[in-house]
Structure 1
Amino acid sequence: MPELPDVEGFRRVLADHGRGRRVERVEVADPGVLRGVTAPRLRRALTGRRLAEPERHGKWLLARTDGPSLLLHFGMTGRLLPAAPADPPHPHDRVTFTLAGERQLRYRDQRKLQGLRLAATDADLDEVLGGQGPDALTVDRPLLDRLLDGRRARVKAVLIDQSVLAGLGNLLGDEILWRARVDPARPARDLDAGERGRLADALRGVLRDAVRAGCVPARPSWLTGHREGPDPVCPRCGGPLSKDRIAGRSTTWCPHCQAGRGTSARVAGPRGRPHSGS
């Protein structure tokens, strides 16, 4: 699933292959990825426009032009790929932008859970992005404290809530909490100063490395590299990992490394799954 590091990678693709180039043609193979705009309107609005420096906020990619702006969201399976006009189309290429200089950018998405929106004005941009929290890359310790203060929800739910903090998804949320040794089920408001400090450090460190990689890497030293499989183990302590659902999302954590106050009854059962002990 594309998260902040993936979308930052797509921003670089757009900057490297599109910035300063004129859009010569827009081909919509599947209007099912268009949100609030028709294929003819999208073609009319963007053809002949010159792409400016792209921006990103959380999981949203903003393709500005010398006219309207295009907003791209990648859902669970979306990608933005450079191509040449001679390259054969992929079955999941939904929208293709042909640019000056014989270049193409292709929005490819299998599941079509999100898609493309057109923003003619800044008010249109605010309508889409106004409900987003601060971009996760900009969050320091004081801002993180303010985001956590008074929130009863579990800390994992808070971290992946885009209206609180934009850009973190399931993999990043689990990785950051594992690095910080914080139980994902702890109420956010209950974290003490030490836990918040570790969380802020983990947030910066994980995002720095993941942005550099262009994804959430499944490295041997990362939780992400061990969460799959029938009997996953913690890369730090070697103990069994536990799995549960928090905020409707599959959550993986180490009950030994991330033991939290008020959760001592939740220990790892067979295959690392939680049970109540008794």
Structure 2
Amino acid sequence: MPELPDVEGFRRVLASCAKGRVVRRVDVRDTGVLHGVGTRGLRDALEGRRFAEPERHGKWLLARTDGPTVLLHFGMTGLLLPAGPGDAVEAHDRVLFTLDDGRQLRYRDQRKLRGLWLAHDDLDVDRLLARLGPDALTVTRDDFETALRARRGALKTTLTDQSVLAGLGNLLADEILWRAGLRPDRRARDLTPAELRRLHVQLGRTLRPAVTAGRVPPRPSWLTGHRDDPDPACPRCGTHLRRTRMGGRGTVWCPRCQPDGD
């Protein structure tokens, strides 16, 4: 599932391939990924427009132009890919943006759980993103601590709640909690000030290299490098990792490195 680092990678693709380029044609191959706008409306709004500097908030990509903004959410299987004029169109390429140099940007999504929205102005953008919390990559420590202190739920479900903090998914939440030495089922509001500070530090230390990699990297020294092993062990202490489900998500943690907080 694309998380914040993946979407930041898509933002860089958009910036490098399309910034300053004019949209010559919009081809919608599957209207099932369009929300609040039809094929004609999307074409009329974008064709002839020039892409500006793209932005990202959490898992949302804002493809800004000199007019409207296209907001893209990638769900579980979405991608934004560059393509050359002669590249074959794949079965799951849902929307194609052809630029004035002949290249294309392609929104590809197998499962079609989210898709594209059209915002005509900044008020539309704000309305579509109104329920999101602060971006996980840029959130200040004060805002982070305030958001978590107000939550009664478990840490794992709190961190992956996009209304609390935008951008974290399953892999990142498990990785950050493991690094911070906090069990995923601890209640967010029960953390001590020192634990909240430690969690915020590990948030940044996890996200920055992941953003550089453009994904949550399955490195041997990371929890994510072992969670799918047949008999997973903690890369820090060698203890057998525990598995459970929280909020419908597969959750992995180390009982030694992430002890009970009682």
Aligned to 2:137, the other structure's residue is in SS state helix
Aligned to 1:56, the other structure's residue is in SS state strand
1:4 aligns with 2:4: yes
Deviations 1:132-173 (A, max 9, x none): 000011123222211111321111111111001000001000
Give the total of aligned pairs.
262
The aligned amino acid for 1:128 is: L
Aligned to 1:137, the other structure's residue is in SS state coil
After TM superposition, the structure 1 = structure 2 runs for residues 27-106 of structure 1, keeping only pairs within 5 Å, are 27-106=27-106
Q: Which shifted more, 236-245 or 209-218?
A: 236-245
Larger relative contact order, structure 1 or 2 (CA cutoff 8 Å, min sep 6) = 2
User: Structure 2 stretches of 5 or more lacking a match?
Assistant: none
Aligned residue for 1:172? 172
Aligned to 2:26, the other structure's residue is in SS state strand
Q: Distance in 2 between matches of 1:101 and 1:114?
A: 29
Q: CA deviation at 1:193?
A: 2.3
Aligned residue for 2:242? 242
Q: CA deviation at 1:176?
A: 0.3
When normalised by structure 1's length, the TM-score is 0.92
Q: Distance in 1 between matches of 2:65 and 2:144?
A: 33
Q: Distance in 1 between matches of 2:139 and 2:260?
A: 24
The aligned amino acid for 1:103 is: R
The aligned amino acid for 1:203 is: L
After TM superposition, the structure 1 = structure 2 runs for residues 89-168 of structure 1, keeping only pairs within 5 Å, are 89-168=89-168
When normalised by structure 2's length, the TM-score is 0.98
Point out the structure with max Rg over C-alpha.
1
Q: CA deviation at 1:105?
A: 0.3
Q: CA deviation at 1:194?
A: 2.4
Give the share of equivalent positions with the same residue, in percent. Answer: 64
User: Structure 1 stretches of 5 or more lacking a match?
Assistant: 263-278
Give me the CA root mean square deviation.
0.9
Aligned residue for 1:231? 231
Q: CA deviation at 1:192?
A: 1.2
Q: Distance in 2 between matches of 1:143 and 1:137?
A: 12
Deviations 1:49-81 (A, max 9, x none): 000100000000001111111000000010100
Q: CA deviation at 1:121?
A: 2.1
The aligned amino acid for 1:52 is: A
Aligned to 1:70, the other structure's residue is in SS state strand
Q: Which shifted more, 69-78 or 122-131?
A: 122-131
Q: Distance in 1 between matches of 2:85 and 2:69?
A: 23
The aligned amino acid for 1:256 is: R
* Structure 1 runs, 4 residues or longer, greater than 6 Å off: none
The aligned amino acid for 1:175 is: E
